[in-house]
A and B are shown apart, each in its own frame.
Chain A
Amino acid sequence: MQLVTPAIGLVFWMLVTFTLLLVILKKFAWKPILESIRDREQTIEDSLSLAEKTKADMIRLQGENESLLAEARKERDALLKEAREMRDKIVGDAKAVADEEAKKLMTRAQDEIEKQKAAAIDELKREVSVLSVQIAEKLMQQQLENNQAQQAIIEKQLSQLN
């Protein structure tokens, strides 16, 4: 019976001690401990979500970089192509101009040659006629007595001339 009869003294001291313990622990132990545990959990949660966000950002940035790179590559190709075309065009143009110039020079040269040739032929003809006249004079002076011979000579000369 003594075992199940609460002693007044112990009840009194227990009430006092437990109340004090509760008040002191609440103020100086549990509150700071629970708060710092909560803070730490918050920090961990924040860090994790930040890491998750950073990862997503990284993936997005990587995609962006890739598309940028592809674009740059395309642009480079286009530029190269353009440059090649330009070069080809310039070379072609230059060739055409040169050809034309050459052709022009050639025609001019040919013209000149023709002209010179004509002039030379003219000169030659004149020379030949002068010569033929002189020959004729000489022949005539030598063989005037022979009519027939004269005739033959003249004809021979003329046929040769033509």
Chain B
Amino acid sequence: MGHKKKMPDFSTFFTTSTFRKSFVAAGFLAFFAVSAFANKDHSASNTAHEGNVSDVEVTSHVADSSHEKAHAGEAHESSTHGEAHAPEKFAPGKMIMEHIADAHDWHLWGEGHESVSISLPVILYTESKGITLFSSARFEHGHAAYEGFELNEEGKVVWADANNTEAIYDISLTKNVVAMLIAVFTILIIAIGMANSYKKNKGKAPKGFHNLVEPLILFIRDDVAKPSIGHKTDKFMPLLLTIFSFIFVNNVFGLIPIFPGGANVTGNIAVTMVLALVIFLTVNLNGNKYYWKHIFLPDVPVWMYVIIIPIEILGVVLKPFVLMLRLFANITAGHIIILGFFSLIFIFGSMNQGLGYAVSPLSVAFTVFMGLLEMLVAFLQAFVFTLLSAIYIGMAVEEHHH
């Protein structure tokens, strides 16, 4: 035809709503404002607690276990090493755990004194104090107590008074919560933008950004949901699409090493637990009589019920439990491996600086390879979670029984 081939058209995505655009811009500005505040706080606190910081770093070669000792032997260590400028020993286990665990602040770059991070709000509920809200900068990286609370070695909020046993419900906006919210807003912007441009282009061929997202939607519908669920597919499509996009976007964001990414959201057991819980509820609330008959009156001789029924009931719980573990383990393992490869540089570097430089190209090459593999895993795990969810739902709503 006479028409020129067009460049991929993102125009609808960015121009449909100036409101949305300004909203995103405001969001990022807010984050950087917080970050600027956080920096000030840190520089102040870091100078104040110089000695302390280096002490902890020095003694914690064996990731988790040595923290207690570190506190106990503070005086000893500082006296043996003398000045705070003593070379810090690199502790890969601790570094990796810090990176994949949740935190009350979002570490951006730098180590120890020069570290720059965004302090996130701490929200606590206790029966005696009600709701308490303050910036995590008040903890000064676990070196200060605030309003009777302090951070323990794992980064958890505990009572400063060790004898206080009252339960603390920590509903802070932690690193993972914020990362999740960023991912969720990204999904909302993309999906709602898509929906609007669909309304605009009604009945026309998809173009531009659609061609990127629509195949995914069609893939979920035609290759994941339809073969497993059958004629009831339409009812569960929104749930499956939401789960897929949530996991996929969070997985991908987790692979981005700098600010809006890098959190280990889908590799956190709490997140995967809620996802699995959603599937568990969906499956069991939509289960029809065949589904329940299969569990409580299976087609086996009656004497076998003693064995079969407990197994079936266990299966009902195990299915979502395995969903939870699979996603958590895959994503966390990916992060650990990538961080492990990077740690190699510093482990060798601490033996001999030249050795560190020598190892780094190899380490980078392995990390790039793992990064590519993780890209595949990011999609694959989202796909597997969605596929298995669809299969479980399909088993629960299946009409004919064999």
Which 7 A-B residue pairings sit nearest by Cβ, starting from the closest? A29-B191, A6-B270, A10-B270, A26-B238, A32-B195, A9-B171, A30-B238
B169-195: which have CB < 8 Å to A?
A: 169-174, 176-177, 180-181, 184, 187-188, 191-192, 194-195
Task: Looking at the assembled complex, report how far the CB atom of A1 sits from the nearest CB atom of chain B, in whole angstroms.
Answer: 9
Q: Does B23 contact A (CB under 8 A)?
A: no
- Given contacts A18-B274, A25-B241, are A13 and B173 in contact (CB under 8 A)? yes
Task: Looking at the assembled complex, report how far the CB atom of A138 sits from the nearest CB atom of chain B, in whole angstroms.
Answer: 128
Stretch at the interface among A35-43, A57-65, A129-137: A35-43
Q: Does A33 contact B (CB under 8 A)?
A: yes
Query: Would A31 and B192 count as touching, CB distance under 8 A?
Result: no
Query: Would A10 and B203 count as touching, CB distance under 8 A?
Result: no
Partner of A30, one of B237, B246, B270: B237
A3–B97 Cα distance when bound, in Å, is 8
Query: Would A28 and B274 count as touching, CB distance under 8 A?
Result: no
Contact indicator per residue, chain B 21-40, by CB within 8 Å of chain A (1) or not (0): 00000000000000000000
A29–B184 Cα distance when bound, in Å, is 13
A33–B188 Cα distance when bound, in Å, is 13
Query: Would B274 and A15 count as touching, CB distance under 8 A?
Result: yes
Dominant SS among interface residues on chain B:
helix
Query: Would B269 and A14 count as touching, CB distance under 8 A?
Result: no
- Given contacts A17-B184, A22-B242, A30-B191, are A9 and B199 in contact (CB under 8 A)? no
Task: Looking at the assembled complex, report how far the CB atom of B50 sits from the nearest CB atom of chain A, in whole angstroms.
Answer: 28
B-chain residues with CB within 8 Å of residue A109 when the two chains form the complex = none
Query: Would A11 and B274 count as touching, CB distance under 8 A?
Result: yes
Query: Would B188 and A25 count as touching, CB distance under 8 A?
Result: yes
Query: Would B246 and A18 count as touching, CB distance under 8 A?
Result: yes
B-chain residues with CB within 8 Å of residue A37 when the two chains form the complex = 198, 214, 217-218
Q: Does A146 contact B (CB under 8 A)?
A: no
Task: Looking at the assembled complex, report how far the CB atom of A91 sits from the nearest CB atom of chain B, in whole angstroms.
Answer: 65
Partner of B203, one of A3, A31, A39: A39
Which positions in A face B, CB cutoff 8 Å?
2-15, 17-18, 21-22, 24-26, 28-34, 36-37, 39-40, 43
Which chain A residue has the least Cβ–Cβ distance from B240? A30
B-chain residues with CB within 8 Å of residue A39 when the two chains form the complex = 202-203
Task: Looking at the assembled complex, report how far the CB atom of B90 sits from the nearest CB atom of chain A, in whole angstroms.
Answer: 21
B94-108: which have CB < 8 Å to A?
A: 97, 100-102
Partner of B217, one of A2, A9, A22, A33: A33
A95–B171 Cα distance when bound, in Å, is 125
A-chain residues with CB within 8 Å of residue B198 when the two chains form the complex = 32-33, 36-37
Query: Would A8 and B170 count as touching, CB distance under 8 A?
Result: yes
Task: Looking at the assembled complex, report how far the CB atom of B13 sits from the nearest CB atom of chain A, in whole angstroms.
Answer: 13
B-chain residues with CB within 8 Å of residue A21 when the two chains form the complex = 184, 187-188, 242, 246
Task: Looking at the assembled complex, report how far the CB atom of A47 sits from the nearest CB atom of chain B, in whole angstroms.
Answer: 11
Task: Looking at the assembled complex, report how far the CB atom of A5 sits from the nearest CB atom of chain B, in whole angstroms.
Answer: 7
A25–B237 Cα distance when bound, in Å, is 11
B274-296: which have CB < 8 Å to A?
A: 274-275, 278
A9–B120 Cα distance when bound, in Å, is 13
Query: Would A14 and B180 count as touching, CB distance under 8 A?
Result: yes
Query: Would A18 and B199 count as touching, CB distance under 8 A?
Result: no
Q: Does B345 contact A (CB under 8 A)?
A: no
Task: Looking at the assembled complex, report how far the CB atom of A18 sits from the nearest CB atom of chain B, in whole angstroms.
Answer: 6
- Given contacts A18-B278, A21-B188, A33-B194, are A12 and B171 in contact (CB under 8 A)? yes
Query: Would A36 and B102 count as touching, CB distance under 8 A?
Result: no
B-chain residues with CB within 8 Å of residue A40 when the two chains form the complex = 203
A-chain residues with CB within 8 Å of residue B271 when the two chains form the complex = 10, 14
Query: Would B173 and A18 count as touching, CB distance under 8 A?
Result: no
Which chain A residue has the least Cβ–Cβ distance from B205? A40
Task: Looking at the assembled complex, report how far the CB atom of B296 sits from the nearest CB atom of chain A, in whole angstroms.
Answer: 30
Task: Looking at the assembled complex, report how far the CB atom of B157 sits from the nearest CB atom of chain A, in whole angstroms.
Answer: 9
A-chain residues with CB within 8 Å of residue B174 when the two chains form the complex = 7, 9-10
Q: Does B339 contact A (CB under 8 A)?
A: no
Q: Does B273 contact A (CB under 8 A)?
A: yes
B-chain residues with CB within 8 Å of residue A29 when the two chains form the complex = 188, 191-192, 194-195
Query: Would A13 and B101 count as touching, CB distance under 8 A?
Result: no
A7–B273 Cα distance when bound, in Å, is 10
Task: Looking at the assembled complex, report how far the CB atom of B400 sits from the nearest CB atom of chain A, in whole angstroms.
Answer: 25
B-chain residues with CB within 8 Å of residue A14 when the two chains form the complex = 177, 180, 270-271, 274
Query: Would A36 and B199 count as touching, CB distance under 8 A?
Result: yes
A-chain residues with CB within 8 Å of residue B187 when the two chains form the complex = 21, 25
Q: List 14 A-B contacts (CB under 8 A).
A: A7-B174, A7-B270, A9-B172, A10-B271, A14-B270, A17-B184, A18-B274, A18-B275, A24-B192, A25-B238, A26-B242, A30-B238, A34-B238, A36-B199
